[in-house]
């Protein structure tokens, strides 16, 4: 059956394309590394960055539309080499509408040490509800990365996981939320790293983490 695009698919193409500029703006990516994807709401269509295209050259039309198995439905280019990991998350976490992957430097430095980022900032309690967890070492080219992401994030408050020796994957209810989580991950990774240089950061008591998380998720904002 031939794929017929819709307004929703084209809107997601534009949104996913525009969000890649945020990865550059916040210093999360180098060269062509990093990628954003989004699920077209109410469908099994995934829109993702094409593989190996410079950020400056990305346009909505170049975004690739696939199904949950990664079959290309629409687009002239190959999807990102991380598409399989994104798809694995969409398959097993139906509540997820956006996935982001970066090798942002401070967070990836934690990944290189195989160390979760401890919850020592109120902003971390707000956004992540605790530590940013560490996922397993996994080679690209199988579903091992996707399984590691899902196994780590399922049942965890954090929308971000640091994959050992690799980098950051974040999830959100839409691609923008996943990008925000990637930006905040790098921000707290940097601050906690700096704090570490001068001594041992002080943990926040679990009951206070719970209070901060609840307030931020349910009360804060407009």
Residues with active-site annotation: 126, 220
Task: State the number of binding residues for Zn ion (CB under 5 A).
Answer: 1
Nearer to Zn ion, 129 or 167 (CB): 167
Alpha-carbon distance of 197 to 62, in angstroms, equals: 43
Q: Which parts of 84-103 interact with Zn ion (CB under 5 A)?
A: none
Site residues (CB under 5 A) for Zn ion, limited to 131-170: 167
**Minimum distance of Zn ion from residue 103's CB (angstroms):** 6
The CA-atom distances, in angstroms, between 209 and each of 22, 30, 132, 183 are: 29, 33, 13, 20
Tokens in use for 201? Answer: 């950061």
CB atoms within 10 A of CB 216: 16
Name the residue with tokens 């992540």: 128
In the complex, minimum distance from the CB of residue 10 to Zn ion, in angstroms, rounded to a whole number: 28
Burial (Cβ within 10 Å: 0-12, 13-18, ≥19) of residue 48: buried
Nearer to Zn ion, 38 or 167 (CB): 167
- Looking at the Cβ atoms of 35 and 119, the one nearer to Zn ion is 35
How many C-beta neighbours within 10 Å does residue 221 have? 6
**DSSP letter string over 125-178?**
HHHHSS-BPEEPP--BTBSHHHHHHHHHHTT-S-SEEEETTTEEEEEESSHHHH
- Helix ranges (H only) for 26-97 are 83-92
Helix, strand counts (H, E) of the chain: 7, 8
Q: Which is nearer to Zn ion, 97 or 167 (CB)?
A: 167
What's the min distance (Å) between Cβ of 33 and Zn ion? 6
Nearer to Zn ion, 126 or 151 (CB): 151
Position of minimal CB gap to Zn ion: 167
Tell me the closest approach of the beta carbon of residue 21 to Zn ion, in angstroms.
19
What is the nearest approach in angstroms of Zn ion to the Cβ of residue 104?
A: 11
Residue list 35-64, contact with Zn ion (CB under 5 A): none
Interface with Zn ion by CB under 5 A: which residues? 167
């Amino acid at each position: 059956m031939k794929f017929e695009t819709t307004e929703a698919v084209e809107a997601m193409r534009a949104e996913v394309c525009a969000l890649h500029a945020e990865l550059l703006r916040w210093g999360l990516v180098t060269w062509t590394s990093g990628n954003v994807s989004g699920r077209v709401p109410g469908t099994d269509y995934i829109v993702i960055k094409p593989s190996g295209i410079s950020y400056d050259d990305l346009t909505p039309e170049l975004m690739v539309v696939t199904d949950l198995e990664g079959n290309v439905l629409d687009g002239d280019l190959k999807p990102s080499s991380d598409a399989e990991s994104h798809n694995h998350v969409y398959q097993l976490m139906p509540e997820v509408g956006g996935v982001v992957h970066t090798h942002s430097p401070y967070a990836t430095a934690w990944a290189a040490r195989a160390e979760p980022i401890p919850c020592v900032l109120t902003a971390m309690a707000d956004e992540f509800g605790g530590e940013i967890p560490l996922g397993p070492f996994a080679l690209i080219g199988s579903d091992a990365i996707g399984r590691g992401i899902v196994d780590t994030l399922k049942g965890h408050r954090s929308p971000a996981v640091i994959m050992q020796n690799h980098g950051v994957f974040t999830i959100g209810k839409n691609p923008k939320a996943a990008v925000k989580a990637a930006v905040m991950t790098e921000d707290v990774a940097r601050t906690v790293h700096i704090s570490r240089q001068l001594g041992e950061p002080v943990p926040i008591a679990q009951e206070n983490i719970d209070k901060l998380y609840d307030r931020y998720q349910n009360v804060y904002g407009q």
